[in-house]
Amino acid sequence: MLRERRRGQPRGIVPVRTPHFETTVGALAVTWLGHATSLIEIDGRRVLTDPVLSKRCSPSQVVGPARLHRAPCTAADLPPIDVVLLSHDHYDHLDMATVVEIARRQPDAHFVAPVGVGAHLEYWGIKAGRISESDWGGQVTHLDLTFDCLPARHFSGRGLVRNLTQWASWGIHGPSHDAFFTGDTGFTEAYADSAQRTGPYELTLVPIGAYGELWPDIHVNPEEGVQLHRFLAGSSLSDSLMVPIHWATFNLAIHPWDEPVTRMLTAADAASAEVATPAPGARIDVVARTGPGIADQTWWEDVG
């Protein structure tokens, strides 16, 4: 890793779009804010996934993996959030500074997390009444949204402590639309079972980066990511949209920086899967298939 991680550095400056958060919340839309952080608009509600807006995904802002591009916004820039949705407690998915700032600025934001992750939030000063937890197979309901807690193939832990909290993927259901947030995972056909029970899904946020031959069980490669999307879309593949996450923001593996997206596009084309590849900060209206993220599909080619 020490010798080869330089391959994961972009040769140029990664373009970042300044997000323009609409006053009217969309029926189904997504703004990718880098790595696994996305703002999902679903049936008039806003769901923020795995918020990490700090410079480093680390217990220290002095050392640890640094962002390869600036954050598209700060916690202060975010519009009103209904739910902060967490997949697990790794530093690149659960950033204390970002979470605490959101909780402070947005007293109505509710936190939905796998079992055990809520203990971190309470320790950071977030009241227990603002937190809902679930284990695999369970559900959380908040306002008019339902969140299915579903299996993922990963692990958890912060510092030297591992696997005392659960990790999960989430099915997000509004009155009219559905989305799926994978979080972090290795390949497993459990996603086909999850889709049969709770899907199919119109929008999937699926990881495609930070894979490696030495850790195939915890991070999918791009081709496996497309297969997960196919599982989750089910018979509605032609109507479902995949937005790749977990790439381009932090250098956590030894593959070239842009390899995940080029491999993913090849696999998606072969599978007749529809994908959108927004630049960090760009928004996509999933229902209308419009927005900067749709129009700007090859932004990484000029980066190198």
Tell whether the torsion through CA atoms of 60, 62, 64 and 65 is positive or negative: positive
Q: Which of 43, 56, 116, 66 is nearest to 86 (CA)?
A: 116
Cα–Cα distance between 247 and 261 in angstroms, integer?
Answer: 8
Q: What is the domain range of residue 239?
A: 5-302
* Amino acid 265: pLDDT: 95
To the nearest whole number, what is the mean pLDDT of the chain? Answer: 95
pTM for the full predicted model: 0.96
**Residue 242: which CATH number?**
3.60.15.10
d(CA 171, CA 195): 9
What is the per-residue pLDDT across 94-104, written as a single tens digit (0 to 9) for each? Answer: 999 999 999 99
Confidence check: pLDDT of 39 > 80:
yes
pLDDT of residue 188: 98
Q: Tell me the pLDDT tens digit for each residue of 155-191.
A: 999 988 999 999 999 999 999 999 999 999 999 999 9
Question: Structurally, how many domains does the chain consist of?
Answer: 1
Burial of 267-287, coded b for 16+ CB within 10 Å and e otherwise, reads: bbeebebebbbbbbbbbbbbb
- Alpha-carbon dihedral of residues 258, 259, 265, 266, nearest 10 degrees? 150
